[in-house]
Structure 1
Amino acid sequence: MSEKLRRWSNANDWTMYGILASIFLVWRIGVVGNWSLECWVLLFICLMGVRKDQIDVDWKRFFVVGIPLLGVFYYFYGSGSGVWWKIANWMFENNRHVWQWDDMMRSIPLNDAAWARAINHPVADQIMAWIYNYGFVLSLWICIVRSYWTKSVKKMMSYALSGHLMQFPLILPFYNLILLREVWWVKGQPDLLARKFATENDMLVNVMNCFPSMHTSISFAMLLLALREKDRIFKYMMVTYCSAIIFSTMYLQIHWVLDVIAGMLFAYGVVKLSDLIVYLASKLVPSRFKGFYNKKDQAYAPEKTVAA
Structure 2
Amino acid sequence: MKELNTETLQYYFKKSLDFINSFYPFIIGVIIFMYNFHIFVGNYSPGYKLITLIYPVIFLTAYKDVRKDVRWISFILLVIPLFLFVSYINKHGYAFWGSVLQWEAKMKIVFNLNPIFDGIPFNDASFARIYQSDNLTWFMRLVYNNGFTLCTMICIFRSAICKDIKKMLKYMCSAHVFQIFLISPFYVIFHLQEVWFVHGQPDMLLRHYSYKQAYGSTLNCFPSMHTSIAFAAFLLLLREKNKIFKTFWGFFCLSVIYSTMYLKIHWTIDVLGGLILAFCSVKLTDFVFAKLQPKLQPLIDKYYYRNSSKDISNSKSVSNLIQ
After superposition, give the CA deviation of every residue in 1:182-203 in whole Å (9 maximum; x if it has no partner): 1111111110001133x54322
1:73 to 63, 86, 93: 86
* Contact 2:123-2:269 at 8 Å conserved across structures: yes
SS in 2 for 1:141: helix
Hey, what's the Cα distance between the residues in 2 that align with 1:43 and 1:125? 23
2:76 to 28, 48, 63: 63
> How far off its partner does 1:117 sit?
1.3
* Contact 1:39-1:138 at 8 Å conserved across structures: no
The 5 A counterparts of 1:120-269 are: 120-197=132-209, 199-269=210-280
Aligned to 1:7: none
The one-letter code sitting in structure 1 at the alignment partner of 2:80 is I
> How far off its partner does 1:115 sit?
1.8
After superposition, give the CA deviation of every residue in 1:231-288 in whole Å (9 maximum; x if it has no partner): 0011101221111101101110111111101100010000100111222233332724
> How far off its partner does 1:289 sit?
4.6
Hey, what's the Cα distance between the residues in 1 that align with 2:297 and 2:263? 49
> How far off its partner does 1:133 sit?
0.4
Structure 2 unaligned spans of 5+: 1-12, 37-46, 313-323
> How far off its partner does 1:123 sit?
2.2
* Contact 2:223-2:274 at 8 Å conserved across structures: yes
Hey, what's the Cα distance between the residues in 1 that align with 2:17 and 2:243? 32
TM-score of the two chains, using structure 2 as the length reference: 0.78
Hey, what's the Cα distance between the residues in 2 that align with 1:266 and 1:81? 21
* Contact 1:47-1:234 at 8 Å conserved across structures: no
* Contact 1:14-1:60 at 8 Å conserved across structures: no
Greater alpha carbon shift after TM alignment, 176-185 vs 121-130 = 121-130
After superposition, give the CA deviation of every residue in 1:128-166 in whole Å (9 maximum; x if it has no partner): 111100001000101110111111111111000011211
* Contact 2:234-2:250 at 8 Å conserved across structures: yes
Hey, what's the Cα distance between the residues in 1 that align with 2:225 and 2:264? 15
The 5 A counterparts of 1:104-115 are: 104-115=116-127
Greater alpha carbon shift after TM alignment, 154-163 vs 61-70 = 61-70
Aligned to 2:106: 93
* Contact 1:216-1:260 at 8 Å conserved across structures: yes
The one-letter code sitting in structure 1 at the alignment partner of 2:219 is M
Q: Are 2:298 and 1:287 equivalent residues in the alignment?
A: yes
Hey, what's the Cα distance between the residues in 1 that align with 2:122 and 2:299? 57
Hey, what's the Cα distance between the residues in 1 that align with 2:124 and 2:88? 37
> 1:158 and 1:260, CA in 2 relative to 1: closer, same or farther beyond 3 A?
same
SS in 1 for 2:208: coil
* Contact 1:217-1:267 at 8 Å conserved across structures: yes
Greater alpha carbon shift after TM alignment, 163-172 vs 36-45 = 36-45
* Contact 2:74-2:304 at 8 Å conserved across structures: yes
SS in 1 for 2:221: coil
TM-score of the two chains, using structure 1 as the length reference: 0.81
> 1:285 and 1:264, CA in 2 relative to 1: closer, same or farther beyond 3 A?
same
The 5 A counterparts of 1:34-53 are: 36-53=48-65
Hey, what's the Cα distance between the residues in 1 that align with 2:111 and 2:60? 47
> How far off its partner does 1:227 sit?
0.4
The one-letter code sitting in structure 1 at the alignment partner of 2:73 is K
Hey, what's the Cα distance between the residues in 2 that align with 1:201 and 1:168? 25
After superposition, give the CA deviation of every residue in 1:102-141 in whole Å (9 maximum; x if it has no partner): 1111111111111211111122211111110000100010
2:283 to 265, 272, 276: 272
Hey, what's the Cα distance between the residues in 2 that align with 1:166 and 1:273? 8
> How far off its partner does 1:14 sit?
9.8
Greater alpha carbon shift after TM alignment, 101-110 vs 288-297 = 288-297
* Contact 2:195-2:264 at 8 Å conserved across structures: yes
Hey, what's the Cα distance between the residues in 2 that align with 1:124 and 1:288? 50
Aligned to 2:318: none
Aligned to 1:118: 130
Hey, what's the Cα distance between the residues in 1 that align with 2:64 and 2:276? 30
> 1:276 and 1:192, CA in 2 relative to 1: closer, same or farther beyond 3 A?
same
Hey, what's the Cα distance between the residues in 1 that align with 2:307 and 2:90? 32
Aligned residues: 277
